[in-house]
Amino acid sequence: MMRAERAIATVVGSAVGDALGAPFEFGLPGAFSARFPEPGCGGEMCGGGGWEPGEVTDDTQMAVLVAESLLQRGGLDLPDVFARFQRWAAAEPKDIGLQTEDVLTNGMPWDLAAAVHFQVNHRAAGNGSLMRASTSAVYFAPGRSTSAVTQTRSPR
């Protein structure tokens, strides 16, 4: 599988998990089990918590933007990714984290926006970058042959 295909597959797989979990995000512990006491959800996406069945959150929407940039720019172009994020935020998405919104709309360049947010608010609590990291990680991961060589050696 080519690296572009791996990146796309990563986004698709993450999107499925995101759509499955979105109705339960920020919910109370046990909310899923209370709603679905039997294993599974009948094999279908279920909505709830303000989400339509199969609808994804800002995490997937932003991961798609990273993937599009990687594919169209042929690599990581941080100003391009930031510009895509800014256009997305300007379109008033249904869901956007407070820190993400502030960084994307404060009018500062990409390499200063988060630092200024931290200086002003004295905290950086966002985990959204983790949700988008897999796309870049898979895109830039070495081929399977390298992994096979480094991971199949026996410990002595």
User: Which positions make up the binding site?
Assistant: 57-59
Distance from C-alpha of 126 to C-alpha of 110, rounded to nearest angstrom? 16
Binding-site positions for Mg(2+): 57-59
For residues 139 and 81, the answer to whether their CB atoms sit within 8 Å is: no
CB atoms < 10 A from the CB of 13, how many?
12
- DSSP assignment letter at 42: T
For residues 23 and 60, the answer to whether their CB atoms sit within 8 Å is: no
CA-closest candidate to residue 113, choices 73, 147, 79 = 79
Q: Residue 40 is encoded by which pair of tokens? A: 């599974």
